[in-house]
Amino acid sequence: MNFRRLNLLVSLPLWLALLLLAAGVPAHEGDDHSAEQPEATGRVLGQISFPTSTRSAEAQDAFIQGMLLLHLFEYPFARDEFLKAQAIDPGFAMAYWGEAMTFNHPIWDRQNLDGGRRALLKLGPTPEQRITSTSAPREQGFLAAIELLYGGGTKAQRDVAYMRAMEQLAARYPDDHEVQLFYALSLFGVQAGVRDTATYMMCTALAQDVFSENPQHPGAAHYLIHGVDDPVHAVLGLRAARALAVMAPDAGHSQHMTSHIFTAVGMWDDVVTANEAAVKVQNGMRRERGMSARHWGHYNYWLLYGYLQQGRFAKALGLLKAAYDEAQAGGDSPEDRLNLDPDRSLVGSVVQMWARYVIETRGWDSEVANWSFNTGNAFDPGLTILFVRAMQAANSGDALKVEQHLAGFQAMKTELAAMISGQEEQSPTDMLYLDRLVVLEREIQAALENARGDKLAAVSLAREASALEGEMPFSFGPPFVDLPSAEYLGELLLDTQKYSEAADAFETQLERSRQKANALQGLARAQSAMGREAEARYTREKLDRIRAAADESDKRSG
């Protein structure tokens, strides 16, 4: 599928066209009085130069700190800095632009339209007054573009209009790092979080140019990583990942982002180290806002996945139990519920972690698998639980229960699809999520046939699931399909003694998720069953090296 929306027809208002087509001046404009203050004090977050027209060095320092945090997607903390800049210099136009930008999360396909508009209204009552509140042409260009981002039309139309405005601004200021990076981010926004290789490579090239000129720019390293965080291209992001971890040690998201690359290439020790650091920094930043530390959420989920790939099951279980205890206590804060972090909710996050643990360990009959959750009417955790319950029942051979869970899954999927189709705008991420549910549904159907004893039908359905997943755009991180379909197909083929086909299925899974432990184990079994012992030994050695490195980590940590 291709969710590119570049062909939408969105006309630019006359005042915007005049501003963007006006004769440009160099990025370091004569009326920018802060060019001598390119860096801010405070957290160590990298280094950028973003001269503005404020005459206050203090306000500029706060603005730079906000920009660094904005580039690292630490949105609530960035907002604090932009508000500080506004308080110091109430006429500082770019401080209001910065605050408004914190409400747009393009790679997550999320935007708080009202929040962005409220921030801009503080600068002036109309777009024309806001844009002319500064005399600096480059700043006017940024302000004109954001008016489109929070203007009229659907989100898709606004994303395209904003991207086109940033494209024109980028053409006017080809050497301006900030303009180029926000243009790259606008391209990501048009894709709404769904990978299109051509567009992502364009974003990567823009970020790489800036990163080459300023290896300390957190936005350049960050966006470069997002452009290549898939198994085919991830090696191109290793340098940026290593650099980002060092340049911005005081942001949880910068530490976590490195693991986008490490996960894509199967560097599990680095995945764990990165997310342990991210969790530590995040919890420190949460304490600054009077919030408690937590064991759930985006970084903890990736950490759990890393532990499981390393074979550190006790460590994974300890983290999961702590998260489950927090869910039972209802420990999410009002700020968490505002979705200021990339975590939808406490319960939804813990269900995601629980499903990952049960699936990766294949602990269908374990005590953990029988944990209960109060998910209310939330679709995502409800569907995930139904999927796990269906696979549990299939593992025990209870076809009747599988049928019941399948019926519940299909009913909820149908309800969700109807709700999405009834919306004014169907986002690409919503549509991709529905595709994912079709794959999961096929897997449950395969499990049902297997429980009934029809292994050929089970293999056929699992093969269909794998083919469907193979047609989907790659989604970064731990497997988007909870039970990776090629891996599941390989296991069913092993059961039917079709070892060559099983090996092919596991090889496919290893192309989709490099160095994945269960796929390596399955491949070694298939190779051994075919008498290809040298290949099986080589495959097992890969897994042994992962386990050995994890054992060393445990010894060092005491």
Going from the C-alpha of 164 to that of each of 23, 153, 176, 185, 190, the distances in angstroms are: 18, 15, 17, 12, 10
50 vs 37: CA distance, rounded Å: 9
CATH code of the domain covering residue 18: 1.25.40.10
Residue that is last in its domain, among 265, 289, 320: 265
- Select from 265, 280, 302 the last residue of a domain: 265
Instruction: State the Cα torsion 376-377-380-384 to the nearest 10°.
Output: 60
The reply to whether 38 falls in a domain is yes
179/166 Cα distance (integer angstroms): 7
Q: Residue 4 domain-assigned? A: no
Q: What is the CA radius of gyration of the chain?
A: 25
* Calpha distance 237→251 (Å, rounded): 19
DSSP state letters, 29-49 = -TT-TTTT----SSS------
Domain-located, residue 198? yes
- Identify the helix (H) or strand (E) that includes residue 453: none
Six token digits for residue 448: 């049902």
Supply the pTM of this predicted model.
Answer: 0.89
CATH number of 489's domain:
1.25.40
Helix (H, G, I), strand (E, B) or coil at 110: strand
Q: Which domain holds residue 127?
A: 14-265
In a domain, 176, yes or no: yes
**Cα–Cα distance for residue pair 25/302, rounded to 1 Å:** 45
What is the per-residue burial (b if ≥16 Cβ within 10 Å, else e) of 391-411?
A: bbbbbeeebebbbebbebbee
Q: Is residue 148 part of a domain?
A: yes
Looking at the domain assignment, is residue 547 inside a domain? yes
Closest-CA residue to 478 (of 260, 254, 191)? 260
DSSP 43-95: S---------S-S-HHHHHHHHHHHHHHHTT-HHHHHHHHHHHHHH-TT-HHH
Terminal CA-CA length for the chain: 48
Q: Last residue of a domain, which of 240, 265, 290? A: 265
pLDDT in tens, the chain (558 residues): 232 233 333 334 434 443 443 433 333 333 333 333 334 346 899 999 999 999 999 999 999 999 999 999 999 999 999 999 999 999 999 999 999 999 999 999 999 999 999 999 999 999 999 999 999 999 999 999 999 999 999 999 999 999 999 999 999 999 999 999 999 999 999 999 899 999 999 999 999 999 999 999 999 999 999 999 999 999 999 999 999 999 999 999 999 999 999 999 999 999 999 999 999 999 998 888 788 889 999 999 999 999 999 999 999 999 999 999 999 887 655 555 444 444 457 889 999 999 999 999 999 999 999 999 988 888 999 999 999 999 999 999 999 999 999 999 999 999 999 999 998 888 899 999 999 999 999 999 999 999 999 999 999 999 999 999 999 999 999 999 999 999 999 999 999 999 999 999 999 999 999 999 999 999 999 999 999 999 999 999 999 999 887 777 666 665
Q: Is 105 helix (H, G, I), strand (E, B) or coil?
A: strand
Residue 298 · residue 253 · CB < 8 Å? no
- What is the domain count for the chain? 2
Whether 302 is covered by a domain: the verdict is: no
Q: What token pair was written down for 185?
A: 């981010």
Q: Does residue 179 fall inside a structural domain?
A: yes
